[in-house]
């Protein structure tokens, strides 16, 4: 898969501009110290509650449950959809493995649908044709913090009786027609992994938009016990009532996260300005047919989670990545389409099944974009991209 920041030993040129750099936004270390001195660093203490309340208010979600990762939140969501063997779930193939794992680990079948050429999101016009009498849910993924066309997807889901679970790992604090991503489907999953917009190392959250799912969600999250009800005095002892797991994050992570959430306006502004700087400075190369820049539909407000470019072909993409790496800039790509992965093939998929997904995954390159990226670092990325295309100016444009 994509190369990480950890492969510095591979190249001879030191990495001057990493792909991502985790950051302290404000009071992270102070809040961690506070959690420790208050004597509670296990789960569901003050900071976990503060983070959940903050997100419930800002995103207009009835209930937010913090989890140790988005992967965990997606696993809970799949269980809450009551998925099992024989069931089918519609999702893109152009996504991170966790979207499909959540479904496959319950014995259900991921049904991969192609993406739109503009946003690289699930193509809503292909969803209806993928529905069968075994379909139980749709898992749209908001790629790069730009929303899927949720209204058409919700309309199909309502008509066909399907659950909708948003993989909003990349979509925290982005919106669609005024609604926060994660708040639109029955359930929504966020990630606070160190590569996302708001971070705590490893972390996530599950948005429960259908309140009828809350009680079971709390039980699954707490090892399959009714401990939450016990703490609220609703039952007089707590015990094993369902098949759950350990989906409660540590207060240490929540304390870190709360400090990040408090700095949302600052983090948003910094990502937006870097994203727009790339758009402006790479526009001449797009006009010359050298690459394609990201698109954001009118009804979507992006959180500028990532900046990608699409090159004319795989050879150019690989050559540009190598050129950048040789000059200290780490640009990476993703995703190996899930339907052509070794696991994907076990569901009967093969090359050629999803042409747009296969095409963009060969041509896409992600540029460094992180909160503390300096003007000099971004200059270097842009200069080196321009340098690459100057060097091959003799060759015909795409
Ligand atoms: C990052 C990501 C995940 C997984 O998030 P974790 O918090 O690392 O488990 C899932 N889906 C998508 C689309 C992602 O980008």
Q: What is the DSSP letter of 3?
A: -
Residues with CB under 6 A from ligand 1: 69-71, 95-96, 98-99, 141, 167, 169-170, 191, 193, 204
Are 239 and 102 in a shared domain?
A: yes
pTM of the model: 0.95
> Which of 153, 148, 125 lies closest to 138, judged by CA?
153
Are 258 and 268 in a shared domain?
A: no
Give the position, in ligand 1's atom list, of the atom nearest the Cα of 192: 7
Are 179 and 74 in a shared domain?
A: yes
Peptide bond connecting 335 to the previous residue in cis, omega within 30 degrees of 0: yes
CA distance 107 to 85: 4
Cβ-contact 329, 18 below 8 angstroms: no
Are 195 and 335 in a shared domain?
A: no
- Tell me how far the alpha carbon of residue 138 lies from the centroid of ligand 1, in angstroms: 17
Write out the residue range of the structural domain in which residue 328 sits.
264-394
* Residues whose CB falls within 8 Å of the CB of residue 391, separated by 6 or more in sequence, listed in order: 323
- Tell me how far the alpha carbon of residue 284 lies from the centroid of ligand 1, in angstroms: 33
- Tell me how far the alpha carbon of residue 391 lies from the centroid of ligand 1, in angstroms: 37
Are 202 and 69 in a shared domain?
A: yes
Are 273 and 341 in a shared domain?
A: yes
Are 227 and 360 in a shared domain?
A: no
Are 183 and 323 in a shared domain?
A: no
Are 68 and 194 in a shared domain?
A: yes
Q: What are the 10-residue block averages of pLDDT along the chain, 398 residues in total? A: 48 88 97 96 96 98 98 98 98 98 98 98 98 98 98 98 98 98 98 98 98 97 93 91 96 98 98 98 98 98 98 98 97 95 97 98 98 97 97 65
Run of H or E including 167: strand 163-167
Cβ-contact 251, 257 below 8 angstroms: no
Say how many CA atoms lie within 13 Å of 47 toward its Cβ.
33
Strand pairing category for 109-113 and 88-92: parallel
**Residue where a domain stops, chosen among 196, 227, 262:** 262
Residue 115 lies in a domain: yes
Out of 169, 189, 204, give the residue to mutate to test ligand 1, the one with the largest number of ligand atoms within 8 Å of its CB: 169
**Residue where a domain stops, chosen among 230, 262, 294:** 262
The structural domain count of the chain equals 2
Are 67 and 208 in a shared domain?
A: yes
Residue 22 lies in a domain: no
Residue 10 lies in a domain: no
Token pair 């949720």: residue: 150
Are 253 and 157 in a shared domain?
A: yes
Are 357 and 268 in a shared domain?
A: yes
> Which of 22, 104, 43 lies closest to 71, judged by CA?
104
For residue 16, the Cα-to-chain-centroid distance in whole angstroms is 26
Out of 174, 193, 305, give the residue to mutate to test ligand 1, the one with the largest number of ligand atoms within 8 Å of its CB: 193
Residue 1 lies in a domain: no
DSSP letter string over 110-129?
EEEE-B-TTT-SB-GGGHHH
- Tell me how far the alpha carbon of residue 188 lies from the centroid of ligand 1, in angstroms: 12
- Residue nearest atom 14 in ligand 1 by C-alpha distance: 169
**Residue where a domain stops, chosen among 221, 242, 262:** 262
Question: Listing from the earlier edge strand, what are the strands of the sheet with 135-138?
Answer: 63-67, 204-208, 187-191, 163-167, 135-138, 88-92, 109-113
- Tell me how far the alpha carbon of residue 100 lies from the centroid of ligand 1, in angstroms: 11
- Tell me how far the alpha carbon of residue 150 lies from the centroid of ligand 1, in angstroms: 19
> Which of 261, 326, 296, 268 lies closest to 147, judged by CA?
296
CA distance 50 to 169: 20
* CATH number of the domain that residue 123 is part of: 3.40.640.10
- Tell me how far the alpha carbon of residue 299 lies from the centroid of ligand 1, in angstroms: 24
Position 177 scores a pLDDT of 98
* CATH number of the domain that residue 373 is part of: 3.90.1150.10
């Amino acid at each position: 898969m994509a190369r990480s920041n950890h492969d510095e030993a591979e190249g001879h040129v030191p990495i001057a501009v990493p792909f991502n750099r985790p950051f302290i936004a404000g009071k992270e270390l102070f809040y961690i110290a506070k959690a420790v001195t208050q004597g509670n660093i296990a789960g569901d203490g003050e900071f976990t509650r503060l983070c959940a309340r903050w997100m419930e208010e800002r995103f207009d979600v009835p209930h937010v449950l913090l989890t140790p990762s988005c992967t965990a939140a997606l696993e809970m969501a799949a269980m809450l959809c009551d998925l099992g063997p024989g069931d089918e779930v519609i999702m893109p193939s152009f996504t991170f493995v966790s979207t499909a794992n959540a479904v496959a680990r319950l014995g259900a079948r991921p049904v991969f649908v192609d993406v739109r050429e503009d946003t690289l999101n699930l193509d809503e016009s292909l969803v209806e044709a993928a529905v069968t009498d075994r379909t139980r849910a749709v898992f749209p993924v908001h790629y790069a913090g730009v929303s899927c066309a949720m209204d058409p997807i919700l309309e199909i889901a309502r008509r066909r009786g399907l659950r909708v679970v948003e993989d909003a790992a990349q979509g925290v604090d982005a919106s669609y027609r005024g609604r926060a991503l994660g708040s639109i489907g029955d359930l929504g999953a966020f990630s606070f992994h160190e590569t996302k917009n708001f971070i705590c190392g490893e972390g996530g959250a599950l948005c429960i938009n259908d309140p009828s799912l809350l009680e079971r969600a709390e039980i699954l999250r707490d090892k399959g016990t009714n401990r939450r009800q016990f703490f609220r005095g609703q039952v007089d002892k707590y015990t094993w009532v369902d098949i759950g797991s350990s989906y409660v994050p540590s207060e240490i992570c929540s304390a870190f996260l709360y400090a990040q959430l408090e700095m949302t306006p600052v983090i948003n502004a910094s990502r937006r300005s870097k994203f727009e700087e790339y758009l402006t400075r790479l526009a001449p190369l797009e006009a010359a047919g050298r690459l394609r820049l990201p698109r954001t539909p009118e009804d979507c407000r992006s959180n500028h989670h990532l900046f990608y470019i699409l090159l004319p072909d795989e050879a150019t993409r690989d050559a540009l990545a190598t050129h950048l790496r040789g000059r200290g800039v780490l640009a990476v790509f993703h995703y190996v389409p899930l339907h052509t992965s070794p696991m994907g093939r076990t569901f009967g998929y093969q090359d050629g099944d999803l042409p747009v997904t296969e095409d963009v995954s060969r041509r896409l390159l992600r540029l460094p974009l992180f909160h503390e990226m300096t003007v000099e670092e971004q200059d270097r990325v842009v200069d080196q991209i321009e340098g690459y295309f100057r060097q091959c100016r003799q060759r015909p444009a795409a």
